[in-house]
């Protein structure tokens, strides 16, 4: 199977590889896939107080297309609001990377990873909001865009 140039580029020079502090309340972590299925993606976002994704990192166990899908996802996430990030569809990844049908699941996994990271971030914010509201109700300005 021949890979598209973009897949090769991302796989050989993956963007934003790394780890964010998963204990940070502004960091959302998504871990999707399973080793037995041959791909696992961990995607992390750090969201500023005004709801913009200021950093995104990933690590992926998987084929070149899986690595490329998650690398591309982190590129797209940076600078987006959480709501915009949530709107990223796997079909856009398929199109950008020119993924063949057999590799579409890689893009689905990347979309799942984004959603899962956002979900984690929101849960943390919610927990913080609840914890914060018992102290003072006025500082819950870190409203999560919904």
The yes or no reply on residue 114 touching other proteins (CB under 8 A) is: no
Map tokens 């991302």 to a residue: 10
Among 42, 90, 124, 125, which residue interacts with other proteins (rule: CB under 8 A)? 42
Please identify, among the stretches 40-48, 76-84, 86-94, 131-139, the one whose residues bind other proteins according to the rule CB under 8 A. Answer: 40-48
Give the tokens for residue 54.
């200021």
What are phi and psi for residue 13, nearest 5 degrees?
A: -125, 65
Concerning whether 37 is annotated as a catalytic residue, the answer is yes
Q: Which of 73, 93, 105, 125 binds other proteins (CB under 8 A)?
A: 105
Local structure of residue 58 (DSSP, 8 states):
E
Q: Judged by CB, which is closer to other proteins: 55, or 84?
A: 55
Q: What is the CB neighbour count within 10 angstroms for residue 41?
A: 26
Burial 107-123 (b: 16+ CB within 10 A, else e): bbbbbbbbbbbbebbbe
Catalytic residues: 37, 106
- Residue ranges in contact with other proteins by CB under 8 A: 3, 8, 11-12, 14, 17, 19, 31-42, 59-64, 66-67, 102, 105, 108-109, 112
């Amino acid at each position: 199977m021949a890979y598209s140039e973009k897949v090769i580029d991302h796989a050989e020079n993956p963007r934003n590889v790394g780890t964010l502090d998963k204990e940070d309340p502004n960091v959302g972590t998504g871990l999707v896939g399973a080793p037995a299925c041959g791909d696992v993606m961990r995607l992390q976002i750090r969201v500023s107080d005004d709801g913009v994704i200021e950093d995104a990192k990933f690590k992926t166990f998987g084929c070149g297309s899986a690595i490329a899908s998650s690398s591309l996802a982190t590129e797209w996430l940076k600078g987006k609001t959480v709501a915009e990030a949530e709107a990223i569809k796997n079909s856009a990844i398929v199109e950008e990377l020119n993924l063949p049908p057999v590799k579409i699941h890689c893009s689905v996994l990347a979309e799942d990873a984004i959603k899962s990271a956002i979900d984690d971030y929101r849960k943390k914010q919610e927990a913080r909001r609840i914890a914060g509201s018992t102290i003072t109700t006025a500082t819950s300005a870190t409203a999560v865009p919904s």
